[in-house]
Structure 1
Amino acid sequence: MNRNAQAVVLAAIGAVALRVGVTDEYARYVNDWMKWPLVVSGAAMVALAFLAVFSSRYDDSDSSRAVWALLLPVVVAFVVQPPALGAYVAERRANDVAAVQIDKAAVAALPAGQVNDLLVSEFVAYASAYPEVLTEREVRLVGFATHDGDGWYVTRLSISCCAADALAFRVRVDGADAPADEQWVEVVGSWVSGTGEGVGATDPPVLAATAVTPVQEPKRPYE
């Protein structure tokens, strides 16, 4: 593969990293703190590619066509924007409460007389270990709908570093018609006492819904 061909491949890979980093697309793959490393590494690869072209003192023309096929997955990655992980992962990695980090000293009862916004993972953890926090309180959860034989769930994925370590948290919704699978919704309701209690509980907590509103997928789909 000649020097110019190497530079083209390097520039293409760098361009993909730049495109993912400077748009909200990166949030589908990695955590927020990895945005700028992606941008910097992409810019560095593009710069190195230009340096390789302009500093070349020879042109090795012995370049196999098969080598250029390496560009195909790069082009696909540049053109195609896959969606965030969804129901498939949620069905296989649901409600690992041990993975939720909550400072016990900071746990306090939610304010009464208002709708409290919680992450789905927080709601699951509170129901499991600190149910008194949720007792007789109204909460709002945002996530996508998933289904099984027992009904439907408001579900959200959480990542520590990247999509490869995603965990799913889901809350069963009672008292409202099921939206379409993977439809993003905002659910307002109250915890059904006794559901989802105990670390390692096999049954998810239940939310008695008073309102379910379809919403757009957020720019940051993971918690």
Structure 2
Amino acid sequence: MKIAVRRALSCVVGLFAIAVFYLALTGKFSAYVNPRFFWLLILAGLVLATAVIGSSARLRLPKIAFILLVPLALIWIAEPGQLGASMARQQSLAPLPAGGTFPALRPGLNQVGMRELNARSRLEPEITIGAEVAVMGFAVAEGENWRLARFTMSCCAADAVAYFADLDLLHWSPGIGQGLKEDKWYTVYATVEDVSTEHPVLAVSRIESADVPGDPYEY
């Protein structure tokens, strides 16, 4: 009986090691943690693999290792997707840095990140307002209005926070908002219209559908 339990434990830990390597080497781990932890995942996989090899040499694995079956089930059966609109709506106003520097906004179109846009609106409003920007994110419906959103991850998905831009579609084609779909990704080309509200307001001139980026989070 003890031999059977030891073998079962070894199988569980071995499967978990394989799952860790799978997530790391396919890049799917970025749905859970910041990419800078890639090498820590590889190290964790090696430690788990070493534990399995050690168990064959009659080194004891604690029975609590069976709890690894829970994340294994999540990884192989219910692999989570990226955080989206439903989670973004539940969040309070995301914190912004108290200071920082950014590349100068140039005349014409500026490619900016969602967190950067919010930070610029707070830290340098007189420069940001009126700027022409292109920003990527997923659509979030707010009644009859629309927002663009993107999550910023510091460590892992548990600490991810959403940053928004409110979309003013009145300067574009009438009824264009009816063609937007929640959680779908878009690149919005716009002029920063207002920075005095909770989120910057973008006067939209063009919206293009976009594929989900390989890395949907900002860091």
TM-score higher than 0.5 here? yes
For the residues of structure 2 that align with 1:213 and 1:170, how far apart are their CA atoms?
Answer: 18
Unaligned runs of 5+ in 2: none
Moved more, 123-132 or 178-187: 123-132
CA RMSD of aligned residues (A): 2.5
Give 2:118's aligned residue.
124
Is 1:52 aligned to residue 65 of structure 2? no
* CA offset digits 1:28-69 (Å, max 9, x no partner): 11111111101220122023213312x1399xxxx9xxx979
> Does the Cα contact within 8 Å between 2:91 and 2:161 map onto a contact in 1?
yes
* CA offset digits 1:101-141 (Å, max 9, x no partner): 651xx34640103x211111111121223112223321110
Give 1:217's aligned residue.
212
For the residues of structure 1 that align with 2:192 and 2:68, how far apart are their CA atoms?
Answer: 52
Matches within 5 A, 1:68-79: 71=69, 73-79=71-77
* CA offset digits 1:162-191 (Å, max 9, x no partner): 111111111011225231010011111110
Unaligned runs of 5+ in 1: none
Could you say what secondary structure the match of 2:163 adopts? strand
Deviation at 1:196, TM superposition (A): 3.2
Q: Which structure is richer in relative contact order (CA contacts within 8 A, separation 6 or more)?
A: 1
For the residues of structure 1 that align with 2:98 and 2:15, how far apart are their CA atoms?
Answer: 39
Deviation at 1:78, TM superposition (A): 2.6
For the residues of structure 2 that align with 1:28 and 1:68, how far apart are their CA atoms?
Answer: 24
Aligned residues: 205
Could you say what secondary structure the match of 2:107 adopts? coil
State the TM-score, normalized to the length of structure 1: 0.82
State the TM-score, normalized to the length of structure 2: 0.83
Give 2:195's aligned residue.
196
Pick closer, same or farther for the CA change 1:97–1:196 going to 2, 3 Å.
farther
Identity %: 26
Moved more, 206-215 or 120-129: 120-129
